[in-house]
Amino acid sequence: MEDIITVEHLSKSYGNLKAVEDFSFSVKKGTVFGLLGANGAGKSTTIECVLGTKKADWGVVSVLGMDPNVNRKELFEQVGVQFQEAHYQENIKVNELCEVTASLYKSSADYKQLLTNFGIPDKGGTLVRELSGGQKQRLFIVLALIPNPKVVFLDELTTGLDARARRDVWQILIRLKADGLTILLTSHFMDEVEILCDVICILKMGKLVFYGTVTEAINQSPHDKFEDAYLWFTDERSAYNESL
Amino acid sequence: MKAYKTIIKTELKLSLRGMDMLIFAVIMPLAVLIILGIIYGNKPAFDGSDYTFIQQSFGALASISICAGGVMGLPLVVSDYRSKQILKRFKVTPIGPFTILIAEVTIYFLYSLISLLTLFAVARVFFGFEMQGSLLQFILGWILVMVSMFSIGMMVGGIAKNTKVAGIIASILYFPMLIFSGATLPYEVMPITMQKFVDILPLTQGIKILKSATLDLPMNNVVLPIIVMVAIAIICSFVAIRFFRWE
């Protein structure tokens, strides 16, 4: 299968802090890749370096066979990005934000259909800031899908969603994946990762500590549940046990 | 082009929803015009002058909205869109963040144009205003003042650390210029010492160009103001482009 994203020897420091150190991975077409790790482990920095919004100190990045720093215009016709925080104008309405987003691409999906698919069809005239947390999160996934992308980056995909909404989002992503969409996501919910991700990387303080499938992660750890295995890899076992 | 048009349409709606630019860039200049008109009517600017007080003030009034958009509107919107990471979001689209900045400049240009047209219509209909000088010269001067003021705004918005700092700098630039550059309080009614003092404000120089064009005064009086405006435009644009912070 064709590699959609390849990253080789990515390193990025902020002053003395090594945010990401010699990180290599690749994402195959039509798969879901999960980037895991505690807050500050280097997930967002990795995504930003892959997208070219941050400049890596070292390393080679290729997305859809293009260098995000060189073929920006061409590449971002085919890439959807959902950021961790909401980046929108103060008094903008849902329809307006979708319309502007659609206008940025040569071809775009019907955003009204996407809003319907994500269960917020009647929110077009609402101010974005007046949406609930879950509705906002769904809107931001819609925005990432508007370009009819070949690959999407979803940062903390379902944070703020209730149980029902999370499952709805999963179903939609599974369908999109079946249609050939490649997805790179970060998440703090291990149930979600188990259901969605074909391959995962676990980062700990900027370093890769695990790269493989969920099953392999469980097998390499002394545990039989993925969440326990994840915590074992990130070395938060003691804190985890104390909290129990 | 499709993106630019959609962004303009949406940003204009957002701006009108906010109301502040409509008030400061369109309604306020008209209000000052009407007040000056009521006080001075069609009276000559001074005894024996061959132009009216309103003719003398027209250029100044036309600069109010340029000043509001350039040193208040632009810095605030640019720093706000940076801190909300809207510029960053545009970075991961084919369009890039430059387009939204151009759209904002276009919007403040439109406010200035609407202000100029409404001022002209009201001054003409109610106070018998006529342009004595060349319209072309006036428009060229008006564009020069706008480029100069907008470049100050882009510089402040582009390099201010955050929205709060941008707001403070914008206020420091906007209010003194609004009150003391002759834009609202006529330069001519100020004492000579005060005039010398307010001459250091960039907009004071800009207004001299517009006044001279309106009244058909000799151009050699405004050589210095033109040089000042061009220099500000070049220096501030350079700083804005060289040091612009996208995030």
ipTM of the complex model: 0.88
Percent of chain A surpassing pLDDT 90: 73
Per residue in A142-152, pLDDT (tens digit) is: 999 999 999 99
Percent of chain A surpassing pLDDT 70: 95
Nearest by CB: A92 against B14, B85, B89: B14
Nearest by CB: A76 against B14, B86, B93: B93
Mean pLDDT value across residues A95-117: 95
Which fold, A1-78+151-159+182-244? Rossmann fold (3.40.50)
Which residues are CB-contacts of A215 (< 8 A; sequence separation ≥ 6)?
Answer: none
Q: List CB contacts (< 8 A) between B92 and chain A.
A: 51-53, 76, 79, 81
Q: List CB contacts (< 8 A) between B12 and chain A.
A: none
Per residue in A162-187, pLDDT (tens digit) is: 888 888 889 889 999 999 999 999 99
C-alpha B98/C-alpha B100 separation (Å) is 6
Q: How far is B43 from chain A (nearest CA, A)?
A: 45
Is B179 in contact with B200 (CB distance < 8 Å)? no
C-alpha A2/C-alpha A5 separation (Å) is 9
pLDDT at B36: 93
Mean pLDDT value across residues A77-101: 90
Widest Cα–Cα separation across chain A: 53
C-alpha A111/C-alpha A20 separation (Å) is 36
How many other C-beta atoms lie within 10 A of the C-beta of residue A226?
18
Is B36 in contact with B186 (CB distance < 8 Å)? yes
C-alpha A66/C-alpha B88 separation (Å) is 20
The answer to whether residue A242 scores a pLDDT higher than 70 is no
Q: Is B199 on the interface with A (CB under 8 A)?
A: no
pLDDT at B233: 97
Q: Cβ A87–B88 below 8 Å, yes or no?
A: yes
Amino acid at B202: P
Is A87 in contact with A99 (CB distance < 8 Å)? no
Is B109 in contact with B151 (CB distance < 8 Å)? no
Mean pLDDT of chain A: 90
Give the domain ranges of chain A: 1-78+151-159+182-244
C-alpha B58/C-alpha B64 separation (Å) is 10
Per residue in A201-232, pLDDT (tens digit) is: 999 999 999 999 999 999 999 999 999 999 99
Per residue in A15-32, pLDDT (tens digit) is: 989 999 999 999 999 999
C-alpha B93/C-alpha A73 separation (Å) is 7
Q: What is the pLDDT along chain B (247 residues), one digit of tens a residue?
A: 889 999 999 999 999 998 999 999 999 999 999 999 999 888 888 888 889 999 999 999 999 999 999 999 999 999 999 999 999 999 999 998 899 999 999 999 999 999 999 999 999 999 999 999 999 999 999 999 999 999 999 999 999 999 999 999 999 999 999 999 999 999 998 999 999 999 999 999 999 999 999 999 998 889 999 999 999 999 999 999 999 988 7
Nearest by CB: A104 against B80, B86, B94: B94
C-alpha A141/C-alpha A156 separation (Å) is 11
Question: Which spans in A107-179 are helix H?
Answer: 111-117, 133-145, 163-178
For residue B163, what are its two tokens? Answer: 């929205």
The answer to whether residue A236 scores a pLDDT higher than 60 is no
Q: List CB contacts (< 8 A) between A145 and chain B.
A: none
Range of the domain at B102: 2-39+47-243
Q: Is B16 on the interface with A (CB under 8 A)?
A: no
CA B49, distance to chain mean position in Å, is 28
Find the helix or strand (DSSP H, E) in which B218 lies: none
Is B22 in contact with B16 (CB distance < 8 Å)? yes
CB burial class (10 A; 0-12, 13-18, 19+) of residue A71? middle
Q: Cβ B6–A99 below 8 Å, yes or no?
A: yes
How many separate domains does chain B show? 1
What is the count of residue pairs from A and B with beta carbons less than 8 Å apart? 70
